[in-house]
Structure 1
Amino acid sequence: MTPTTTLALPSGAMLGNYHLRFEETTLAQVQQVVGVNSGIARQGDAGESIYWLCYTIPGKHAGQRLWLIADGEMGGQEHDITELMVQSVSGAVPTSDCPALPSRFQPARFDNSPVWPGMSREKVVLNTGGGNQNGNWLFLSSEKWVRPGTCEEAAQENSMYIHTVFGRVDIVDTGQITAC
C-alpha cells in the first residue's frame, strides 16, 4: 500500500471514556467492559476469517451501526481489534445480534480523527486532504515503522475508507495492521 497522507489516522476509538486500541484491545475485553453480550460473530475460515461485535447507536432520524472487527489472521487467537466500521442507518433499532451501545459508552468517535457519519464531504476533505478519491469513496492510508516485541522492525499500516452519499459521510471503515 502506498501511503496517501502524513496525517495520524485512527489507532483506535473512544466509546465514551473507554479507549480501545487497534491490535491491543480484544473483542472479549470490549464485551466485558461494555457489559452487553451480543456474542462474537464469525465468518470465514482460518486466515480468511473475521470476528466481530456489533452495537447500535440509536438516533432521532438516522442511528448508526458500529462493528468492531478482528481479522482472523492478524487479530491473533485473542481476536485483537484490527478494524472499526460505522455506518449511518435510517431508523436503526437494536437487535439481539446488534444491541444498543449503552449511553455511558457514547459518544463513539475515532481517537485521531473527527470524521464520523453525518459529516459533510467538504469538511472531510478539508480535515484530511481527501486522500485518493473514487466516486463516492475517499481512501486514506499511512505507514510507519515500529519496533514490536516479535520482530526487529515492522510496518504499521493505518487506513480509512470514507463513503459519502448526497454530500454527507454515511460509512467510515478504519483499521490498523502491523506486519513484520
Structure 2
Amino acid sequence: MFCLSSIFNVRQFGVDGRKTLVLLLLLFAIPANDCSAQTPPPPLDEHAFERVPPTVVKRLATRFSLGAFAGRFEETRLGAVREAVGEGTIQHQGDAGGSLYWLCYRRAQHRLWVVSSGEIGGPDHLVTEIVEELTEKDAGASADCAVIPEKFAPVVFDGKLHLGMSRQQVITALGPPSKSEAAQIVYSHEGKLADGFDETAWLILGFGADKLVSMRGGKTTTN
C-alpha cells in the first residue's frame, strides 16, 4: 500500500496541483485512510525463548478462531481474514525474510494483530502468528487500527485458550508450561511432521492479577 502524494510531484505536470491530486484519487479510488500506517504488532521478546526447552509434546497453535470464523496457522490467508471481517487493511513492513504483513484490529480494551511472516507466510501471506492483548485504556484511542465487529470475539487458540482465563485454568487446559515466571508463562513445542518437515510452535502468555491479559501464539514449519 502506498500514498500517491508521496510519489507524485503533482506540480511537475504544469497544472494546478490540487486538481491533479483529486483526479488521481478519483481514478485510483484510494480511500484517504489507506495512506495511514497502522501500528505494527509488538516485537517478539527474544528473551521469552531464552533457555526454554521445547517440553510440550502435543502440537500447539494449530488453529484459531475469531468468533465463528475458524482458521489454521500456516494455512489461512490474511486476505481470508480480511474478507471475513470486512474491515482492516493489510500492512507491510521490512524486506525479504525479515518482512511482516499484518492486520490490526481493536474493540473496547482489546488489541489484536493477525500476522504473516514474509518468509514463512509466503506469497499468499498465510497466518503464522496472532497477538491479542488487553490495554489499560479503551483501545479506541488507537484509531489507526480498524474496529472489529463484536461477532468476531472472542479470539481462541486451539479451541480452548482465550483472554480472561486464570493461570490455573490455562495450566489445566494446556498442561505444565515450558517456562514459568510470575507474570508470564511460555509453552514451546518442536516436532517432526509425517512429511518429514520440522514444526516449531509457541504460546507466550502474560498475566495480570492472575488473569490472562496477553497471548501470542504462532507456528513455523521448515524443511
For the aligned pair, the TM-score class normalised by the smaller chain equals 0.7 to 0.9
- 2:204 alignment partner in structure 1: 161
- Unaligned 5+ segments in structure 1 are none
Match of 2:128 among 77, 82, 106: 82
Counterpart of 2:61 in structure 1 is 10
CA–CA separation in structure 1 for the residues paired with 2:144 and 2:53 = 36
Q: Give 3-state SS (helix, strand or coil) of 2:135's partner.
A: strand
Does the CA contact (< 8 Å) of 1:65 and 1:86 recur in 2?
yes
Contact 2:78/2:125 (<8 A) preserved = yes
Shift of 1:136: 1.9
Matched, 1:171 2:214: yes
Helix, strand or coil: the match of 1:130? coil
**Equivalents in 2 of 1:16, 1:156: separation in Å?**
27
Structure 2 distance, partners of 1:105, 1:77, is 26
Cα distance in 2 for residues equivalent to 1:133 and 1:77? 36
More strand by share: 1
CA distance in 1, matches of 2:141, 2:158: 25
The CA distance in 1 between the partners of 2:143 and 2:86, in whole Å, is 14
Matched-pair contact (CA < 8 Å) for 1:4–1:132: no
86-95 vs 26-35, which moves further: 86-95
Deviations 1:121-163 (A, max 9, x none): 232233332321244221101223224xxxx510112110011
Cα contact 1:94–1:100 (8 A) shared by 2: no
The equivalent residue for 1:137 is 184
Give the AA of the match of 2:191.
K
- For 1:119, what is the secondary structure of its paired residue? coil
Question: 2 CA distance for matches of 1:107 and 1:166?
Answer: 20
Secondary structure in structure 1 of the residue aligned to 2:146:
coil
TM-score by length of 2: 0.69
CA RMSD, aligned part only?
A: 2.0
Runs of 4+ in 1 over 6 A off after TM superposition: none
In structure 2, runs of 5+ residues without a counterpart are 1-51
| Larger-Rg structure | 2
Counterpart-to-counterpart distance in 1, 2:196 and 2:171: 32
Q: For the residues of structure 2 that align with 1:139 and 1:95, how far apart are their CA atoms?
A: 28
The answer on whether the counterparts of 1:55 and 1:66 sit within 8 Å (CA) in structure 2 is yes
Alignment length (residue pairs): 170
1:146 matched to 2:206? The reply is: no
The one of the two structures with greater contact order (alpha-carbon pairs below 8 A, sep at least 6) is 1
